[in-house]
Amino acid sequence: MPWCDEAIDYLDQHEIFYEKIVVSNDARAMNEMVELSGQSKAPTLDWNGQILADFGEAELEPFLKKLGVI
């Protein structure tokens, strides 16, 4: 998934730790993602309860800045 790869690249470049969960192969993880975000599209990021769902880099950077991560 291009947006997932983009998000991973961004987080890696900024040395931001994350846990990668592949929901396409894990029904339980997919259900948890849907419960958290209200949708079934990846990537979805849960940052201490703050959810960013179905995003690209254009949405990721402002989200992380708002939370004081970068």
Residue partners of 67: CB distance under 8 A and separation at least 6:
47, 48, 50
What CATH code would you report for 2-66?
Answer: 3.40.30.10
Reply yes or no on whether the pLDDT at 2 is more than 90.
Answer: no
pLDDT tens-digit series, residues 39-66: 999 999 999 999 999 999 899 999 999 9
Model confidence, pTM? 0.88
pLDDT tens-digit series, residues 3-52: 999 999 999 999 999 999 999 999 999 999 999 999 999 999 999 999 99
